[in-house]
Amino acid sequence: MRRVAIMVAIVALSAIVASGVIAASRSSDEAALEPTRGAPDRNIERKVDALLRKMTLEEKLQQIQLLSDGQVTDDDARKGVGGVFSLVDPQRINELQHIAVEQSRLHIPILFAYDTIHGYRTIFPIPLGTASSFDPDVAFKDAEIGARESATVGLKQIYSPMVDVSHEPRWGRIAEGGGEDPYLGSAMAAARVKGAQGRDYSASNKVVTSPKHLAAYGQPEGGRDYNTTDMSEQRLRNLYLPPFKAAIDAGADTSMCSFNAINGVPGCANRHIESEILKKEWGFDGFIESDYTAVAELRACPPQRPAEGSCGHGVAADGPDAAALALNAGTDSEMVSTNIRDFGRELLGQRRISMQRIDDAVRRILRVKFRAGLFEHPYVDVAKAQNEASFLTPADRAAARRGAARSMVLLKNAGGTLPLDPKKKTAVIGPLGDSGHDMLGPWWGRGRDEDAVTVFDGVAAQSPGATFAEGCDLPNTEPAAYDPAQDCPSISGIDAAIAGADQIVLALGEPREMSGEAASRSVLDLPGKQEDLIAAAKASGKPFVVVLFNGRPLALEDVAPQSPAILEAWFGGVEAGNAVADVVFGKVNPGGKLPVSFPQRLGQVPIYYNHEPTGRPCDATQKYNSRYRDLPTCAPLYEFGYGLSYTSFEVSNLQLSSSRVSRHGSVRASVDVRNTGSREGDEVVQLYIHDPVASISQPVRRLRGFERVTLKPGEKRTVTFTLDASDFGFYDNTGRFVVEPGRIDVYAGNSSSATLTKPLTVTG
């Protein structure tokens, strides 16, 4: 049960003023979500020093090396390779670990890593979906189960959470993160770190996390993956870095530098971000691994680019140059490419890198290995790892089902179309209606298609006699073979299903291969002729709902007017079908909200709620202002924070504990929320601020608090938030966090277009 009065507490003011990062919204897992980072352990530091004194240069360079499952050999283990990723066979993990621990000169264990992004075997919704829950407990649970399953096979690091704030729906990787808002993204990031690491990641069911991709990878020009980004310091710090800081404050001990260039400087050669901000300013004492071949990619490509070999950025002439740049910038570990290992000795001789820096990188890697308890417990229990009962337990499935249902967002429900009556005859129609494969989304880990409950399975379990017709095919092709003309080229075979049904569930969207890495799209519409399925359902005159499965905001300008009800289900994971049925038939009343704006059409992109104003604010009825001539509105189709319920709510009575606050003080904002409908439901109360006069033009709204509450019909609750300098202040272009005196407008409501407002004066 939720508390009657809810206090969204903000962590200690001093820490926040220094960082500008907020605490996660408090939730029922409050205690478990407390920060875990403490002072360095003297004992560990002594052990690291002792090892470092014994290590040869070769052994140090081996520690810096991180190899993939396809690359690593017994010999690498014998020589003391630092890390291995994507290897998940517990027997082979143990084999290599035995070689490292027993046959390498200094017996240093290997750190095994994996991309457990939204589950290892128990696949949860994609992180963009989880963010829609506005419930950090869902992210916490996902990470907790993912960590336990990963650790069971011998992994001790996960390349997660992916915390890239993004305003780019064309970018396929928007699916992996928490959406467009740094505050919500920070809450989800912190919850994921705490879920995966617990208080002590040496525990046998815990792993160390690696927030990625440092930094601003979520804003590639044109939405094309890996593309460059040009970013002011204030934007970088106000919009893109906060979730990283939240993850680090929550205890994350590793991080991954990004592929993309920021202001011309690639992530893994970016001293400003890696060394000055992360390590110095934030006091991060763990290590940074490069992304996949990202060090080699610093090199210029030769005129005739070889088929094999990574290159492109052109900030390094050759391998040695790339190695020196990356290491000197602050990259501590090189993934897949081997430049630091290969050229370290030569570079040291030429004084292009220092022994001090090599030692620092190795010290960080060893520190994490000691903290992870790898020296005490290097091996995995193979019998347990091979026991099916260790994975996807009934409790894990139940958590995934709950998480998926809480992640769904009801976008439209004209005339109370939903919930449908399960006793009536239901037809499931659409290319995603019986696909387990797609439900798992773009980072399925070790999830299996056959584990996933399809929409048809879920619907049929609750509505006996349900039927299914695919209507058309959305092939699961990888990019090289992809031909858009094959996506649902025409519809057929649905007439009988429609004729025999009282109501229709349309399962539409994108195949999972359209999301994730290297999966940018240049259109945001439903692929192929899927809209013809909507037209056919509409022509039948029967009630129907469009259930959407996708990894990005879609442009639904043509879909929305044709559809009485739209449910955004994202890729819901292993229990997607059951969760869809729970919501569609009303066992669960949807309460998710959009963590990202849905444009009317592609041309509006990037469109996001926390944009800065202009000197000509958009007014669709006038000419000389910031608008599109061919669009009669300034708004997205569905805004950030938006989502409906089967009941109705009223948010009212915004009160501030004081109308003035000193820049060192804090003020409480309280607001009432009442369930004005006739069934129990969830509402997400949201608090925004706007600073109307500042030295740097401030976003028109900034989310600074949220709480998801469950209310019975007629029930009212008062939700209280605390605002302080971390909320009123912002980073300027010199990288300073400033709190300026003056008026702040506080807004409360149930979406980013909240209108309830009260002014507040921040005094000097």
Please list the active-site residues.
291
Go through 523-532 and write b for each residue having 16 or more CB atoms within 10 A of its CB, e for each that does not: ebbbbbebbb
The nearer residue to ligand BGC, 100 or 335, going by C-beta atoms, is 335
Closest approach of Cβ 32 to ligand BGC, in Å?
26
**163 and 178 in contact (C-beta within 8 Å)?**
yes
Q: Please calculate the CA angle 167-146-170 and round it to the nearest 5 degrees.
A: 20
The nearer residue to ligand BGC, 115 or 181, going by C-beta atoms, is 115
Closest approach of Cβ 663 to ligand BGC, in Å?
39
Query: Which residues in 112-151 contact ligand BGC (CB under 6 A)?
Result: 115
Instruction: For residues 604 and 598, give the distance between their C-alpha atoms in angstroms, rounded to a whole number.
Output: 10
Instruction: For residues 513 and 440, give the distance between their C-alpha atoms in angstroms, rounded to a whole number.
Output: 11
284 makes contact with ligand BGC (CB under 6 A): no
Instruction: For residues 209 and 255, give the distance between their C-alpha atoms in angstroms, rounded to a whole number.
Output: 8
Candidates 124, 134, 159, 649; binder of ligand BGC (CB under 6 A) is 159
Of 242, 278, 282, the C-alpha closest to 703 is 242
CB within 8 A of 61, min separation 6: which ones? 340, 341, 344, 345, 358
The nearer residue to ligand BGC, 115 or 321, going by C-beta atoms, is 115
609 makes contact with ligand BGC (CB under 6 A): no
Of 352, 272, 265, 263, the C-alpha closest to 313 is 265
Sheet strands (E) in 714-755: 716-724, 730-731, 737-738, 742-749
Strand partners, 681: 711
- Within 10 A of 694 (CB to CB), how many other CB atoms are there? 16
Instruction: For residues 641 and 685, give the distance between their C-alpha atoms in angstroms, rounded to a whole number.
Output: 9
292 makes contact with ligand BGC (CB under 6 A): yes
The residue with its CB nearest to ligand BGC is 159
**DSSP-derived 3-state class of residue 760:** strand
The nearer residue to ligand BGC, 86 or 666, going by C-beta atoms, is 86
Please state whether the peptide bond connecting residue 215 to the residue before it is cis, i.e. omega within 30 degrees of 0: yes
The nearer residue to ligand BGC, 212 or 406, going by C-beta atoms, is 212
Closest approach of Cβ 738 to ligand BGC, in Å?
34
Strand partners, 731: 737
289 makes contact with ligand BGC (CB under 6 A): no
Strand partners, 397: none
**DSSP-derived 3-state class of residue 731:** strand
Residue length of the chain = 764
**576 and 458 in contact (C-beta within 8 Å)?**
yes
The nearer residue to ligand BGC, 16 or 207, going by C-beta atoms, is 207
Closest approach of Cβ 295 to ligand BGC, in Å?
13
The nearer residue to ligand BGC, 115 or 568, going by C-beta atoms, is 115
Candidates 517, 532, 557, 745; binder of ligand BGC (CB under 6 A) is 517
Q: What single DSSP character describes residue 157? A: E
292-253-404-640 Cα dihedral, nearest 10 degrees: -90
Closest approach of Cβ 729 to ligand BGC, in Å?
32
69 makes contact with ligand BGC (CB under 6 A): no
The nearer residue to ligand BGC, 210 or 339, going by C-beta atoms, is 210
Closest approach of Cβ 336 to ligand BGC, in Å?
8
502 makes contact with ligand BGC (CB under 6 A): no
Closest approach of Cβ 475 to ligand BGC, in Å?
23
**90 and 386 in contact (C-beta within 8 Å)?**
yes
Go through 239-249 and write b for each residue having 16 or more CB atoms within 10 A of its CB, e for each that does not: bbbbbbbbbbb
> Total number of residues binding ligand BGC (CB under 6 A)?
8
Closest approach of Cβ 34 to ligand BGC, in Å?
27
Q: Per-residue string for binding with ligand BGC, 74-113, x by CB under 6 A?
A: -----------xx---------------------------
291 makes contact with ligand BGC (CB under 6 A): yes
Residues near ligand BGC (CB under 6 A) are 85-86, 115, 159, 212, 291-292, 517
